[in-house]
A and B are shown apart, each in its own frame.
Chain A
Amino acid sequence: MKTFEYTITDPVGIHARPAGILVKEIKKYASAVTVIKGEKSVNALKLMALMGMGIKQGDTVKVTVEGADEDTAAAAIEEFFKANF
């Protein structure tokens, strides 16, 4: 399992459209991706649940990536967070 932490810099946080692109990005990989904020964790393929976490600017989230392609997936997803959130 691969893990990284990321602090949201986008002023609107993880909002609808970027969350939508995130789901698309994750669908490219076989690994299961989980986004964790505090005690809440969601499967990152679940768009509405992800939006429902209300992740805002300044929040630090932990992302876990687990599966056959976790090395490539984790690196790509971390890049995606940096570029979009």
Chain B
Amino acid sequence: MISIQGKGVSTGVAIGPLYFYQRAKSTIRRYEVEDEQAEWNRFKDAQAKAVEQLGELAEKARAEAGDEAALLFETHQLMAEDLDYEEAIQGLIQDDKLNAEAAVTDTAAQFAEMFAAMDDAYMQARAADVKDVSSRIISILTGVVQGGIDSPVPIILAADDLAPSETVQLDKSKILGFVTEGGSGSSHTAILARTMGIPAIIGVGDQLKPEYEGREVIVDGSTGNVVVDADEATRTRLLAKQEEQRKMREMLEQLKGKPNETKDGQSIRVYCNIGGPDDVHAVLSNDGGGIGLFRSEFLYLNCDDYPSEDYQFEAYKQVLSDMDGKEVVIRTLDIGADKQIGYFNLPAEENPAMGNRALRICLNRPEVFHTQIRALYRASAFGKLGIMFPMVTSVWEVKEAKKMCERVKAELTAEGIPFAEDVEIGIMIETPAAAVMSDRLAREVDFFSCGTNDLTQYTLACDRQNADLGRFYNPHHPAVLRLLKMVCDNAHKQGIWVGICGELGADLELTETFLSIGIDELSVSPRSVLPLRQKIRETDVSAVREKVLGDLLSDENAL
């Protein structure tokens, strides 16, 4: 048995014979042409043919993987007809009397180099698109047919890397999974594999040897593991995993549209955590009920200077409109010396976790805060917005932050700019101080959301990044769970709702606990929504509540 480790970019387990992609190799001849005009016409014919083929591929991709996949080939069509590209080829044919194949090869190299030299990973990856389009034109010119799969049975396809046009032309009924030597998680191959629901593992490098051709391999897209000639135990284990995943997927699909309601009728809202407007589609496709945590940091991290009010407004507005009236809780800036942003010029700190961070920066730098709050209120007119302040320890901080909201609302009213009147204001409960003072804090806000990562770290005085502290860092520690219960009770006494937006929210071992203490909302990563919904629907709170609450106080758990 040979085990190879790569990076899984599309999940699932597949088993089958390994097959290396047969790429037609054509050596490009290079010669001087006598009739430049005829050679130019030859290029124009090949170009027209390429555009036609790409149009067919776009339709094929549309049928298999949707509009987004088709758009890629339509872009390739435009690249094939690009004026600069064409001009460069024309120059080589007409001025240098170069044959069309060589002219296309040289021009492709020149454009690919331009993209590869850009300081942007996304653009660098476009070098592959230029080469892909060019090799199609060259294939047409030389008459060599592009490679494919010649196998009677379905296979696991191996390749150095697959160009998008190669991936889409493949006979999908023959492919069980992909393994590539190179590639990146954002390559078109990875994206197409995910869209089509086929496992894919990239970056295995030279561990994949040509002599493995035809031998049985098992790929596990969730771990990135490729096993050649698996022993019986491994084979059995992975096949069981495959079956389990298949059943799981079917079952989860059926949960879409169903309420997050326990057997005894208790409801809880399941929302999602997102990092930017691009994540909204994942929220909707996983049936998330809203957004419980939109980390606004990305706006600041992606800019070279303080993001303007308009710029922020557009991003918030987009998320609110895309969510179409479902609740969206946006957390105000949460950075600090550990999540540095250059232009903030924050001095290095001995102890960044306890330093000038999050709401503290906003209160110390009201001009930065003012811009964000204005952008948020302007966006509130486009959906159901909640604003959440991170890293609160005292009541006065919340009062000061709310004063900024009042100031902004007065400004917008004076300027005649619309905003929603029903924006909810909430705070993160992530410091022990906030948890202990939650009875008083509850009087100031509309909701609480517990950030369990920081709450655990601060409560246990344990840095979770420190590998030596593994057994000291216990997120199920009764100290943390008791604080959560206290926060929940205090919130409900004031009639406000309370959620959890840390990693703990998706921890299925604690779902019973959260339901028992009466948490109103869990905000988790989009792909955790359906597994969590399943767990909720299997729970009978009335049957477990007493035991769960007793466990929080038991001697056994206090050890």
Contacts and interface: CB of A to CB of B under 8 A. Distances in A.
A45 interface: yes
Nearest to A14: B123
A58 B311 CA distance: 8
B308 A21 contact: no
B122 A12 contact: yes
Contacts, number: 73
B82 interface: yes
A56 B82 contact: no
Contact of B123 (A7, A45, A51): A51
Nearest to B77: A20
- What range describes how many residues of A lie at the interface? 20 to 34
Contacts of B303: 57-58
Contact of B276 (A11, A19, A23): A11
A62 interface: no
B83 A45 contact: yes
Given A15-B123, A20-B71, A56-B120, A47 B79 contact: yes
Contacts of B84: 46, 48-49
A80 B72 CA distance: 19
A22 B504 CA distance: 43
B82 A16 contact: no
Given A11-B302, A21-B71, A48-B79, A16 B119 contact: no
Contacts of A51: 115, 123, 126
Given A15-B122, A43-B83, A48-B130, A9 B314 contact: yes
Interface string A1-29: 00000010101110111011101100000
A67 interface: no
Contact of A9 (B68, B71, B111, B311): B311
Contacts of B315: 9
Contact of B114 (A7, A43, A52, A58): A52
A54 B308 CA distance: 21
A54 B129 CA distance: 16
Interface in B68-87: 68, 71-72, 74-75, 78-79, 82-85
Contacts of A43: 83
B72 A17 contact: yes
Nearest to A22: B78
Contacts of A21: 71
B278 interface: yes
A16 B302 contact: no
Contact of A58 (B71, B118, B307): B307
B310 interface: yes
B50 to A, nearest CB: 15
Contacts of A9: 311, 314-315, 318
Nearest to B313: A9
A57 B484 CA distance: 39
Given A11-B276, A57-B303, A58-B303, A48 B75 contact: no
B304 interface: yes
Given A52-B114, A58-B307, A20 B75 contact: yes
A15 B188 CA distance: 14
A23 B278 CA distance: 23
Interface in B85-137: 85, 111, 114-115, 118-120, 122-123, 126, 129-130
Given A20-B74, A21-B71, 17 more contacts: A7-B308, A11-B298, A13-B122, A15-B126, A17-B68, A17-B75, A20-B71, A20-B78, A23-B78, A47-B79, A47-B82, A48-B85, A48-B130, A51-B126, A54-B118, A58-B302, A82-B314
In the A-B complex, the 7 residue pairs with the smallest Cβ-Cβ separation, listed nearest first, are: A20-B75, A9-B314, A58-B303, A48-B82, A47-B78, A17-B71, A20-B78
Interface of B: 68, 71-72, 74-75, 78-79, 82-85, 111, 114-115, 118-120, 122-123, 126, 129-130, 276-278, 298, 302-305, 307-308, 310-311, 314-315, 318
6 contacts: A17-B68, A17-B72, A47-B75, A48-B82, A57-B303, A58-B307
